[in-house]
């Protein structure tokens, strides 16, 4: 389902993760990895966002001219479980409709590297989404990046806060690149087009 959003309204693309170098390559930080790549593509550098506890890049994505979209890329610096506050502050500051917000996050119930795009829904136990939904409702877009389930009896918290394995890292750049493509398609061409192209 596509939603009609105000013409010219900006998009807010939020990569979910934890700040700090010790978390940088964790599975839980794949949202940061995706927005970092989009920022690189548009030639932007993340900077502190005023009073919001987040880093942002402002720019445009899509073809030059009327097809391009104004976008704010964001990385909350509050730790995953408190993502909602910074995102809500950015939403207010930039006047972004909730339907123009995209959360990019890791997803346990999807195989590694598989993408699923959707609008709204539950948080499926994901604390970053839980915090965002509590702050502003659930009617935002999600780009769900599959990380698979923990092996054996490993606890979920341990699994998501570990780095991708050496085997996973061989394909990680490709999957992050594809997720960045999916975000750009969602923002410029709409959810249905992005789902048909990237929901694998």
3-class secondary structure, 89: helix
Q: Which residues are catalytic?
A: 28
Calpha distance 20→12 (Å, rounded): 22
Dihedrals phi, psi of 103, to nearest 5 degrees: -100, 125
Question: Residue 107 in contact with residue 200, Cβ under 8 Å?
Answer: no
Helix then strand then coil, in percent of the chain rounded to 5, is 40, 20, 40
Are the C-beta atoms of 109 and 159 separated by less than 8 Å? Answer: no
Tokens representing 118? Answer: 């959707």
Three-state secondary structure call for residue 38: helix
């Amino acid at each position: 389902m596509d939603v009609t959003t105000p013409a010219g309204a900006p998009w807010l693309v939020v990569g979910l993760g934890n700040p700090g170098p010790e978390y940088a390559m964790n599975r839980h930080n794949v949202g940061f990895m995706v927005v970092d790549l989009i920022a690189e593509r548009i030639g932007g550098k993340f900077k502190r966002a005023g009073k919001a506890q987040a880093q942002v890049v402002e720019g445009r994505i899509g073809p030059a001219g009327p097809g391009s979209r104004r976008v704010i890329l964001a990385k909350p610096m509050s730790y995953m479980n408190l993502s909602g506050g910074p995102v809500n502050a950015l939403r207010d500051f930039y006047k972004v409709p909730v339907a123009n917000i995209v959360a990019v996050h890791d997803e346990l119930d999807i195989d590694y590297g598989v993408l699923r795009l959707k609008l709204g829904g539950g948080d499926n136990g994901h604390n970053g989404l839980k915090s965002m939904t509590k702050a502003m409702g659930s009617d935002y877009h999600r780009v769900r990046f599959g990380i698979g389930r923990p092996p054996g009896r490993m606890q979920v918290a341990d699994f998501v806060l570990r780095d991708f394995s050496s085997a996973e890292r061989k394909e990680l750049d490709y999957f992050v690149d594809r997720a960045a493509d999916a975000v750009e398609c969602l923002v410029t061409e709409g959810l249905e087009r992005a789902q048909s192209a990237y929901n694998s």
